[in-house]
Structures are given as C-alpha cells and as structure tokens.
Amino acid sequence: MKILILGGTGRTGAFLVDEALKQGYTINILLRDKSKWQHNSTAITLFEGTPIDKAVLQQAMQGCEAILSTLNISRTSDFPWAPLRTPTDFLSASMKNIIELAGDLQIKRLIVTTAWGVNETKKDVPGWFRWVIDHSNVGYPYRDHELQEALLQQSALNFTAVRPVGLTNSLNNKTVQISTNNQPKPRLTISRQNVARFMIKVLQEDLYSRQFITVSEQ
C-alpha cells in the first residue's frame, strides 16, 4: 500500500515514517524543504510544499490509498507564549484541501492526530492546562484542531482522529489505553513513538472508523 504522510519531519511524524517503513509501506511525504530531509530509503518519494497549497498536495496524494497526518501548528519554542511559525488556521485549511482532493482521488482512509483537550475532552484535562489553553499561544492549535474535527465529522471520509495526551520522547514500548467519553480516565502521558505505532496499527487493522479517541499509556 502507498500512503501519504503529512508532518513527517515533526517529532511524532518522524516515528511514524520509521514505523511505516518497518511495516513495508511505500510512502509519499510532503514537506516544506526537501534539502533538510535526512532519511535515505527507496520506499520514500518526497514532495516539496505545504498542504495549504492544493496543487502540491494533489501531486503528493496521487496513487495513495490512505493519508496519515501528524500536522500541528508550531511555535518557535516550547514556551507557551512563543510566537507561531504557522498560520492560526493551518490545520483546518489543510483539512479542507485534503477532504476535497480525497473525493476526487478516491482516497477514503485518513488517520490524523488532534489532541486531548479538544472539543468535549477539554473539561477532562487538568484545570491548570485549561488555563494555559485559554490564555497562551498553546490555545491556537487546540482551537484549530476543533475546526479540523468538525470538518472530518461533516466529511464522507473513513477517518480516525487520535487525541494523544501529553507527548513524551520515551522509547519504551508500552500498552496504549483507548478512552472515549473519558472512560477509562486517560493517563497523562504517551510517547510519540507509541502514538506512531498505534496509528499504523489502526491503518493495518482498519480500526475506529469515524471515531474520535483519546490515547494514553497504561
């Protein structure tokens, strides 16, 4: 199967590319600057640009059977008030293009990361973090993730929206806990590597069709 990975140079996306290669997928990757790509694999085809550019995105989607996205709105540092690198509507604008082009190209499957704390799960996150979402630049991606999820819900795609809790860089392979409607109550962390492995499992086994699920580690 050929798949398109969006966000493949990000901290979670890099693990997603590695896991997809291990499982034998042929991969198209859309990235801003091909000169910065370090991976050397004949199974990867690179496209330069962003998913906001519909023409470039269409080229990257050609021949793919599924799309996996770990895109996010990024800041210049992890400091909550750091300036944004990407437009405040980057996720929803990208999703509009994905949905429109997927219909034309007969692509039905989409697996995308959003976040715990989006939409109805906002009430479930710790109170101090709700304050950060409401009063810092951290809030921009959460609000755009909400718009992205609304677009998915209105689409005809077979989507799975994966909402990770706090992301870590741990390389320990732990069991992923799935939560819906805050049951069971999510743990507070999950590694980026385990999110990537879980996304590939969802693709392979065609799990959680048209669902929004929170993932954490047991």
Predicted pLDDT of residue 36: 82
Tens-digit pLDDT profile for residues 139-171: 999 999 999 999 999 999 999 999 999 999 999
**What's the CATH architecture for 2-217?**
3-Layer(aba) Sandwich (3.40)
8 Å CB contact between 26 and 67: no
Tens-digit pLDDT profile for residues 4-63: 999 999 999 999 999 999 999 999 999 999 988 988 899 999 999 999 999 999 999 999
Domain boundaries, the chain: 2-217
Q: How far apart are CA 92 and CA 114, in angstroms?
A: 11
Burial state string for 146-164 with b = 16 or more CB within 10 A and e = fewer than 16: bbbbebbeebebebbbbbb
Instruction: For residue 56, count CB atoms less than 10 angstroms from its CB and return exposed for 0-12, middle for 13-18, buried for 19 or more.
Output: middle
Percent of the chain scoring above 90 in pLDDT: 94
Percent of the chain scoring above 70 in pLDDT: 100
